[in-house]
Structure 1
Amino acid sequence: MHFEVPLAEFTLEQRRHQRVRFGHPPPIMLGSAGWFGEANIENLSLSGLMIRCTQPVTIGQILGCEFSVAGAPLVDLPIQVVSRLGDVFGARFMAGPLSQILIEETLLAVMENGLASLLTVHDRGGQKVMRILGGLNAALHNDFMHALTRMAVVEIDLAGVSRVDAAGLTLCRLALQQGVTLGAQSPVFTAAWLQDQASRA
């Protein structure tokens, strides 16, 4: 599938450190002096990532990491732990220009395949528009409901949706009940939405 959202616009959002969320967290290999093991990526941006890991880490610690998602090239670079809450920690990439290109390729691949999602809210003529890129699924539930109930969103832009499941369709039905309009739509979303509506007729 050709990704509907212009590359330049997508990467601009990423440079603002928007993190894409994964419906099913992909594995990542981590290593440090004395240990090496597998963890899972909760979300990812050009600047860093959130990782769920049972291995204890400390803020400031530097780890090696390796991951490849959705057929993108292997990313192999050091990260520095910057936060931790329970078994989830945030880390910043210690990357050069080449690594940044690899991370960007990974972000584009997971969005195009619908394996990850990005939800943003934009002002359009004084009104709030929710925009969804990548997968429309349960992983977006909290962000979606926050935008719907706390940010007075009036429209949802679905032109960048590359995969949608039952949970994503349920979110859209909830939005319609709140008087929100479904705006621009990708062919993937339109097909799923029409099928869902037909099954409820």
Structure 2
Amino acid sequence: MDSPVTDDEARTRLLDAAEALFYADGIQAVGMDRIRAESGVALKRLYRIFPAKEALVTAYLERRDQRWMAGLREAVAGAPEPVTAVFDWLATWFAEPGFRGCAFQNAYGELGAGPAGVLDVVHRHKAELRDLLAGLVGPDGPPGLADQLLILVEGATAVASLDPGPAPAHRAAEAARTLRGHP
């Protein structure tokens, strides 16, 4: 006999379903009933765990941020050229099946300035990415370089969302090398 699903397991199933559906189809296009059906979690339990769609969207983005940033940190850790490693990692991500751009850019594009919890996660993610890039540049790097690299990362991601594949990351890496004064 199967043991009952715990709230932690139900939460994971809900977040897995939400991530797949929100990323593929968009936040506004996916209703809670569809998430319930995909996850196999009863609607009453879904709303007990996530009382509103905003709470589910926020949790989905927070989890995605943790995983995405951990993957990027791992890719640059110990790399001989950490800035180049950022763009190599992006190139791999851009070529993944089902790539649909940045979940944070997508969420902001759909929801704009509301709901506050979602917007807060989007801003924190971008600030964390900028801080990681600033750490790679270091205190002796050219002033403003971390902000310029952030624009290259974000721009390459936006271009790749329209035409998936590694080419936008490679072009952004060339621009990053130019900004850093490396051929």
TM-score > 0.5, shorter chain as reference? no
Higher relative contact order (CA 8 A, sep 6+): 2
More strand by share: 1
Report the TM-score, using the length of structure 1 for normalisation. Answer: 0.28
More helix by share: 2
